[in-house]
């Protein structure tokens, strides 16, 4: 029976020009290139310029994705921005992106699920498209985490970076099997009991300030591999695919040791995973679309590729999306 699927028509990304290396960081806090590389795999990250905002990054990424999709912005009827670092408390960064792209139809809103934001946003867009309410969506992950870091805290400031990525989804009629193009399955989860392990210590309603990121890295790490591999397995069960049948894993980029642990647990070889964290650091909601863009430009993703995206972050939130390009 024919079904409507959300087909990924284009991907784009944008990174701010300024690069901050581990050696640069060693001049600011008591750290070293050796420690950061050994414990995380990160070598450098990009930092937004003064006045360069999350929406600017998101607009640049979305414009590239639209060009690659060959879709005119006037035909877009949904814009979702996953971000934990909005330009303003309100309105949503997505409406600024909507305006910057010249989209005037439909709806635009933000999704706040921190590092899992892009997986959440894709899942939400997919459900709107499958329901028939919207036909073409721009889904953006954009962050300026440099603005919420405590630059005196070496346990967190070395981990994160700024950037944006975007995909364009289009409703297309497909046969209704797991061989279809488009989003085939997704699963999102959260558990607020873990809020205090990764959070920002400010906000309009609590402190009337923006605040800084606080993390108990060791505890987050302890949960990560299990939660991520669990949600991947649940997503694969929905389609009956085995882990080794996936062409490419595009994970949220937090720590190389987490990526290695997930691979080991699933029994997947390292060449099937996209790694960008050495050059981008952890860009929260932007990391998956940035990695998708890299894989697309490297010709590792082609039409028909079976791609598994996954993430875990503050909340805790976590989730996975399986799509055929």
Q: Going by C-beta distance under 8 Å and a sequence separation of 6 or more, which residues neighbour residue 312? A: 115, 116, 223, 224, 227, 228, 252, 254, 318
Contact segment (CB under 6 A) with ligand UT7 among 29-37, 53-61, 69-77, 302-310 equals 29-37
Could you give the CA distance from residue 171 to residue 151 in angstroms, rounded to a whole number? 44
**Alpha carbon 325 to chain centroid distance?**
17
Cβ distance to ligand UT7 smaller for residue 174 or 282: 282
Contact segment (CB under 6 A) with ligand UT7 among 66-74, 200-208, 216-224, 270-278 equals 216-224
Q: CA 83 → CA 55, 143, 173, distances in Å?
A: 10, 6, 30
Q: For this structure, is 293 an active site residue?
A: no
Q: Which two tokens stand for residue 282?
A: 């952890």
**Residue 220 lies near ligand UT7 (rule: CB under 6 A):** yes
* Positions 146 through 175 that interact with ligand UT7 (CB under 6 A): 154-155, 158
Give min distance, CB of 58 to ligand UT7, in A.
19
Give min distance, CB of 200 to ligand UT7, in A.
12
**Residue 43 lies near ligand UT7 (rule: CB under 6 A):** no
**Residue 254 lies near ligand UT7 (rule: CB under 6 A):** yes
Give min distance, CB of 32 to ligand UT7, in A.
6
Which member of 46, 212, 252, 280 is catalytic? 252
Could you give the CA distance from residue 196 to residue 18 in angstroms, rounded to a whole number? 32
Closest CA relative to residue 131, chosen from 289, 305, 30, 3: 3
Tokens 């085995």 correspond to what residue?
242
Give min distance, CB of 317 to ligand UT7, in A.
10
Give min distance, CB of 42 to ligand UT7, in A.
9
Among 121, 124, 224, 307, binds ligand UT7 (CB under 6 A): 224
Contact segment (CB under 6 A) with ligand UT7 among 35-43, 81-89, 143-151, 168-176 equals 35-43
Query: Site for ligand UT7 (CB under 6 A): how many residues?
Result: 19
Give min distance, CB of 310 to ligand UT7, in A.
12
Q: For this structure, is 81 an active site residue?
A: no
Among 22, 40, 283, 317, binds ligand UT7 (CB under 6 A): 40
* Positions 306 through 325 that interact with ligand UT7 (CB under 6 A): 313
Could you give the CA distance from residue 140 to residue 97 in angstroms, rounded to a whole number? 9
Q: How many helices (H) and strands (E) does the chain have?
A: 10, 13
Helix axes 287-297, 54-69, angle to 10 degrees: 40
Q: Going by C-beta distance under 8 Å and a sequence separation of 6 or more, which residues neighbour residue 108? A: 78, 79, 80, 81, 92, 94, 95, 97, 98
Closest CA relative to residue 187, chosen from 264, 122, 252: 122
Q: Which two tokens stand for residue 237?
A: 């069960």
x-marked contacts with ligand UT7 along 256-285 as a string, rule CB under 6 A: --x-----------------------x---
Q: For this structure, is 282 an active site residue?
A: yes
**Residue 190 lies near ligand UT7 (rule: CB under 6 A):** no
Q: Going by C-beta distance under 8 Å and a sequence separation of 6 or more, which residues neighbour residue 134? A: 77, 78, 106, 107, 125, 128, 171
Task: Give me the active site residues, please.
Answer: 115, 252, 282
The residues that touch ligand UT7, with contacts defined as CB under 6 A, are 31, 35-36, 39-40, 115, 154-155, 158, 217-218, 220-221, 224, 254-255, 258, 282, 313
């Amino acid at each position: 029976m024919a079904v409507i699927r959300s087909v990924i028509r284009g991907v784009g990304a944008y990174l701010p020009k300024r690069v901050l290396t581990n050696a640069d960081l060693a001049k600011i806090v008591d750290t070293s290139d050796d420690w950061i590389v050994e414990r995380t795999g990160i070598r450098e990250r990009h930092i937004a310029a003064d006045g360069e905002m999350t929406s600017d990054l998101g607009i640049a990424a979305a414009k590239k994705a639209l060009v690659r999709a060959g879709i005119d912005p006037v035909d877009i009827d949904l814009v979702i921005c996953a971000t934990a670092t909005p330009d303003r408390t309100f309105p949503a960064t997505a409406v600024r992106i909507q305006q910057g792209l010249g989209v005037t139809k439909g709806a635009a809103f933000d999704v706040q699920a921190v590092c899992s934001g892009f997986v959440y946003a894709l899942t939400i867009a997919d459900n709107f498209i499958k329901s028939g309410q919207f036909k073409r969506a721009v889904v953006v992950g954009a962050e300026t985490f440099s603005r919420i870091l405590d630059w005196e805290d070496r346990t967190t400031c070395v981990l994160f970076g700024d950037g944006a990525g975007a995909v364009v989804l289009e409703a297309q009629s497909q046969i209704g099997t797991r061989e279809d193009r488009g989003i085939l399955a997704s699963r999102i989860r959260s558990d607020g009991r873990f809020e205090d392990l990764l959070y920002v210590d400010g906000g309009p309603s609590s402190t009337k300030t923006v605040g800084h990121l606080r993390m108990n890295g060791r505890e987050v790490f302890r949960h990560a591999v299990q939660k991520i591999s669990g949600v991947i397995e649940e997503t694969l069960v929905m389609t009956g695919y085995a882990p080794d049948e996936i062409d490419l894993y595009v994970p949220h980029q937090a720590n190389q040791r987490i990526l290695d642990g997930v691979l080991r647990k699933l029994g997947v070889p390292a060449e099937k995973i996209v790694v960008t964290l050495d050059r981008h650091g952890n860009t929260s909601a932007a990391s998956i679309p940035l990695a998708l863009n890299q894989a697309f430009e490297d010709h590792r993703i082609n039409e028909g590729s079976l791609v598994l995206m996954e993430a875990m972050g503050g909340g805790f939130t976590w989730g996975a999306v399986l799509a055929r390009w």
